[in-house]
Amino acid sequence: MSNSLNFPPRLDLAQRNTPLIPLRRLSSTLGGPTIWLKRDDLTDMLASGNKLRKLEFALAQAKQQGADTILTYGGVQSNHCRATAIVGARLGLQVHLLLRGDNPGNADGNLLLSHLCGARIQHISYRAFKNDLPDITEQIKKRYNSQEHKVYDLALGASDAVGLWGYIDCARELEQDCQKNGIKADHILCATGSGGTLGGLIIGNATFNLGAQVWGVNVCDNAEYFQQKIDEDFSQWKQQYKPSLDSKSLAIDIIEGYVGPGYAKADASVFSTIRQVAELEGIIFDPVYTGKAFHALLTEIEKGERFKNAKNIIFVHTGGLFGLFPQKENFLNQYS
């Protein structure tokens, strides 16, 4: 039976539908399942990636509430902050970014683009980001309020109840994509950094009867952290939108063990996977999210357990290209 959902208001910001394409050369090299890419790196040129799908719903909510200023959070090379800064400029909204870590001095990649689009950028220490964020946020809101501005507090990665709709809707697209290509997806994978993409795909997979097993590859923290975080987002979502779907019964499956040296730090194997896919397919992954998660997928296929009987696996290319440039040393060294 199909569950129907009532989608909340959305802004039309992303290029849709994004293509679903098979990686034929890579898949035959592996001799295993056919790997398909959902090209969410093509949701836009500048605001590209998965965050744009979530922003369509989150910023619709912000506008509904009469906000003229968006406050949000991330790492120094946050794709989410860059997408918010760009879309904010397009919508005439002021964007204020709280970035974890020092100002690197010369802006590159995502930071450069956020800067160019006029975002107010405030760098705060790792310690303060971890411990004092609510206080800092409160002060910033007070300051804007006293200047007659209304702030919308946008969740980290836009991963909260409203943000879930972005990837619920992507799963709806995937149902059509699979039908058009005459395939059934056995598995769907994505990189997981704040949980909203995975959470949305899990709900969407159940709602639109894709019948796939949905996996997140965590690029920071661990499985337990994300299971808890996504579970909380599901509860909030249930409360706010009162869907008929029983989200409590849905499995939250994480493939652990691929964080490597840490968030936004990858080891050589990830960089060589990025190069391999680029050479074979003309597709570029980034070292923070998609490269790590895709490396996990290839490694798990080689191990031959989890994906042993799979025919078709969909990997959601969530974007992240601009995060590659600040890490270019990892490629140039191999040529010098």
Ligand X SMILES: *Cc1c(COP(=O)(O)O)cnc(C)c1O
Provide the annotated active-site residues. Answer: 78
Q: Cβ closer to ligand X: 77 or 213?
A: 77
Collapsed DSSP state (helix, strand, coil) of residue 301: helix
Shortest approach of ligand X to residue 280 CB, angstroms? 20
Nearer to ligand X (CB atom), residue 84 or residue 213: 84
Residue 192: alpha-carbon gap to chain centroid: 7
Closest to ligand X by CB, 33 vs 196, is 196
Q: Find the Cα–Cα–Cα–Cα dihedral 52, 323, 272, 27, rounded to 10°.
A: 10
Considering the complex, what minimum distance in angstroms separates the CB of residue 67 from ligand X? 22
Size of the site for ligand X (CB under 6 A): 20
Q: Whole-number minimum distance, CB 182 to ligand X, in Å?
A: 28
Options 18, 114, 197, 327; binder of ligand X; rule CB under 6 A = 197
Give the nearer residue to ligand X in terms of CB position, either 192 or 247.
192
Closest CA to 254 of 288, 286, 230: 230
Residues between 254 and 293 that touch ligand X (CB under 6 A): 286, 289-290
Choice between 121 and 198, CB closer to ligand X: 198
Locate 100 and state its tokens.
């974890």
Residue numbers 4-33 binding ligand X by CB under 6 A: none
DSSP β-bridge partners for residue 214:
188
Among 194, 207, 213, 273, indicate the residue that binds ligand X (CB under 6 A). 194
243: tokens are 């869907």
Q: Which stretch binds ligand X (CB under 6 A): 11-19, 24-32, 61-69, 187-195?
A: 187-195
Rounded CA-CA distance 5/208 in Å is: 10
How near is the Cβ of 129 to ligand X at its closest, in Å? 16
The H-assigned helical ranges of the chain are 24-30, 51-64, 79-91, 109-116, 126-131, 133-146, 164-181, 196-207, 223-241, 268-281, 290-303, 329-332
For the residues of 248-269, what is the DSSP string, one character each?
GG---EEE-S--TTBTTB--HH
Q: Tell me the residue type at 265.
A: K
The reply on whether position 48 binds ligand X by CB under 6 A is no
Question: Cα 20 to the chain's mean position, in Å?
Answer: 17
Give the range of 62-70, 235-243, 312-320, 327-335 binding ligand X by CB under 6 A: 312-320
Q: Is residue 195 at the binding interface for ligand X, with CB under 6 A as the rule?
A: yes
By CB atoms closer than 10 A (0-12, 13-18, 19+), residue 316 is buried
Q: Which of 75, 88, 109, 320 binds ligand X (CB under 6 A)?
A: 320
Among 77, 318, 322, 326, binds ligand X (CB under 6 A): 318
Residue 210 near residue 186 (C-beta atoms within 8 A): no
Whichever of 16 and 149 has its CB closer to ligand X, that residue is 16
| DSSP character at residue 172 | H
Pick between residue 36 and residue 289 the one whose CB is nearest to ligand X.
289
CB-facing half-sphere around the CA of 276: CA atoms within 13 A: 16
- CB of residue 238 vs ligand X: minimum separation in angstroms? 19
Q: Is the peptide bond before 205 cis (omega within 30 degrees of 0)?
A: no
Residue 114 interacting with ligand X (CB under 6 A): no
What residues numbered 140-159 form the site for ligand X, per CB under 6 A? Answer: 157, 159
Q: How far is the CB of 86 from ligand X (least distance, A)?
A: 13
Among 75, 196, 291, 326, binds ligand X (CB under 6 A): 196
Q: Which residues bind ligand X (CB under 6 A)?
A: 49-50, 79-80, 157, 159, 191-198, 286, 289-290, 318-320
